[in-house]
Amino acid sequence: MKVGLISDLHTDVTPLNKQLVPHLIEAVKAAKLDVLVIAGDLARHLVQLSETLNAFQLADLACEKLFVPGNHDIWAIETPDVTSEQKCSIISELCRECDFHPLMDVPLVKEKIGFCGTIGWYDYSFAPEDYDFSDAQYAEKELMGAVWNDKRYAKWADTDRAVARRFEAELETQIATIRDDVSRIIVVTHHVPFRECIRYRGELPWDFFRAFMGSKRLGEQCLQEPLVTHALFGHTHRALDMQIRSVRAISAPVGYLYEKPAMELQTYAAQCLACFNV
Q: Is 109 buried (19+), middle (13-18) or exposed (0-12) by CB count in 10 A?
A: middle
Beta-carbon neighbour count of residue 238 at 10 Å? 12
- What's the CA gap between 35 and 3, in Å, rounded? 5
Cis peptide before 15 (omega within 30 of 0): no
Q: Does 118 bind Fe ion (CB under 5 A)?
A: no
Query: What distance in Å separates the CA atoms of residue 87 and residue 74, rounded to the nearest whole number?
Result: 6
The reply on whether position 150 binds Fe ion by CB under 5 A is no
Residue closer to Fe ion (CB basis): 8 or 123: 8
According to CB under 5 A, which one of 11, 48, 71, 84 is a site residue for Fe ion? 71
Whichever of 7 and 50 has its CB closer to Fe ion, that residue is 7
Q: Which amino acid is at 4?
A: G
CB of 184 to Fe ion, least distance (A): 26
CB of 22 to Fe ion, least distance (A): 20
Closest CA to 211 of 258, 172, 161: 161
Stretch that binds Fe ion, among 7-15, 171-179, 204-212, 265-273 (CB under 5 A): 7-15
Out of 69, 70, 117, 128, name the contact with Fe ion by CB under 5 A: 70
Q: Does 84 bind Fe ion (CB under 5 A)?
A: no
Which of 3, 8, 53, 207 is close enough to bind Fe ion by CB under 5 A? 8
Beta strands in 192-239 (DSSP E): 228-233
Binding stretches for Fe ion (CB under 5 A):
8, 41, 70-71, 235
